Amino acid sequence: MQKAASHPEGPSAARKIIRSRADLAINGAPPAFAEPLHVGRPNIGDHNAFLQRVNRILDSHRLTNNGPMVQEFERRIAAHLGVKHCIAMCNGTIALEIAIRALKLEGEVIVPSWTFIATAHALYWQGITPVFADIDPVTHNLDPDAVRRMITPRTTGIIGVHLWGRPAPVDELQAIADEHGLKLMFDAAHAFGCSYRGRTIGNFGACEVLSFHATKVLNSMEGGAVVTNDDELAETMRLMRNFGFSGYDNVIHPGTNGKMPEVNAAMGLVNLDALPQFIAVNRQNYHAYVEAFAGIDGLTLLEYDEASTPNYQYVVIEVSPDFQATRDEVVAALQAENVLARKYFWPGCHRMRPYRELFPHAGLILPGTLEVASRIAVLPNGGAPAGGIKTIAGLARMLGESGV
């Protein structure tokens, strides 16, 4: 059997010595890496185990429609998270849309602007207005005080996001929701396996939405799920993901096609078996970054609290205004070296069409969002071996000393 691995070993660093700005690829020198180092390179478990599951699917002629692989995947995800129900979906965005509709949200729903655009789109696509509340610039998660300020008579719900896998302020958001009679759900796309005060993410709000996209710590190539402890809500979502069918020829609820195919569940099951190894590699790389970036003035690595059992999928740096290069210059310089750093969520949902046209002055009440959006970059994780991380840090150190 082939041993499960988090990532194939990434491209090794060239023997590149950086003595001055002339040695930077952005200034014409050869890049430090022969091949690109990507953020979110997919984790892939045991190839043979996956192919065996695919053969079982082909032999069964059961490719979709809630087959045995999907059912097994749902059972194992629910058990892993300690929740009653997992409803697997074809992707995380459809999972968001179905959860929103099952909760009967309407009017306005409060969300952070500092999130992946799907969080806002899943509302707007259904005629619901996403109202953007500010984030805490330290945690990057929703600021409960900002949420309170955005509540109006049209508000029906709140969607919190566990950004980078660090838990949102769950208790504060639940208290606000209870006080104002609002529904609370969470976008947990980043947070599989993480926890909040000893409870696994997935157990909070009315429901939580997972993503198993290729870039996530646990992937099913493409896929998503909603997890909940609410029996009635789970049953409604199961109907909704399959056109509202209850048995053959019996449609009892409005619905759509949100089903996860069997092959995606097979990949998810194989990767779930390898999840501890994936997280161990992420953790090792994260601590290698911490060590390599220590002492670089003006660059701060986002910290994880071990008590929240992080999955370490995202290595996030904050570029201070005192640094010799701007965040955009840092990203451009790293990309020239084939380190494909990313400005995640830039420039914020409220500044993307159509939301900048709906809310042209939203930035006036989102100072934390604007601050974070201007200084954040995400670095490659599992695909970057230790030597590569030291090279990345060396490039960053040079930028801090002399700029681009």
CATH 3.40.640.10 in the chain is located at 47-270
Torsions phi, psi for 23 (to 5 deg) = -85, -5
At residue 404 the predicted structure's pLDDT band, cuts being 50, 70 and 90, is: confident
pLDDT of residue 385: 60
How sure is the predictor about 401, in pLDDT bands with cuts at 50, 70 and 90?
confident
pLDDT, tens digit (0-9, with 9 covering 90-100), for 317-340: 999 999 999 999 999 999 999 999
Nearest to 346 by CA among 316, 380, 374: 374
* pTM > 0.95: yes or no: no
If you average pLDDT over residues 282-306, what whole number do you get?
94
Q: Are 102 and 337 in contact (CB under 8 A)?
A: no
Q: How many CB atoms are located within 10 Å of the residue 282 CB?
A: 23
pLDDT at 2: 39
Confidence of residue 21 (pLDDT cuts 50, 70, 90): confident
- Pick from 208-217, 263-272, 351-360: least confident: 351-360
Average pLDDT taken over every residue of the chain: 93
Q: What is the DSSP letter of 307?
A: G
- Given a cut of 50, whether residue 4 has pLDDT beyond it is no
- Residues of the chain within CATH 3.90.1150.10 domain(s) are 274-402
Q: Confidence class of residue 134 from pLDDT cuts 50, 70 and 90?
A: very high
Averaging pLDDT over each range in 7-16, 267-276, 285-294, which range is the top one? 267-276
Fold of 274-402: Aspartate Aminotransferase, domain 1 (3.90.1150)
Q: What's the burial of 123, exposed, middle or buried (CB within 10 Å: 0-12/13-18/19+)?
A: buried
Model confidence at 15, pLDDT cuts 50, 70, 90, reads: low
- The helix/strand/coil state of 141 is coil
In this structure, of 116-125, 160-169, 201-210, 350-359, the range with the lowest mean pLDDT score is 350-359
* Cα–Cα distance, 200 to 347 (Å, whole number): 31
First-to-last alpha carbon distance for the chain, in angstroms, is 48
pLDDT of amino acid 376: 97
The verdict on domain 47-270 having CATH code 3.40.640.10 is yes
Q: What is the pLDDT of residue 384?
A: 57
Span 231-240, pLDDT tens digits: 999 999 999 9
Are 196 and 172 a contacting pair, CB within 8 Å? no
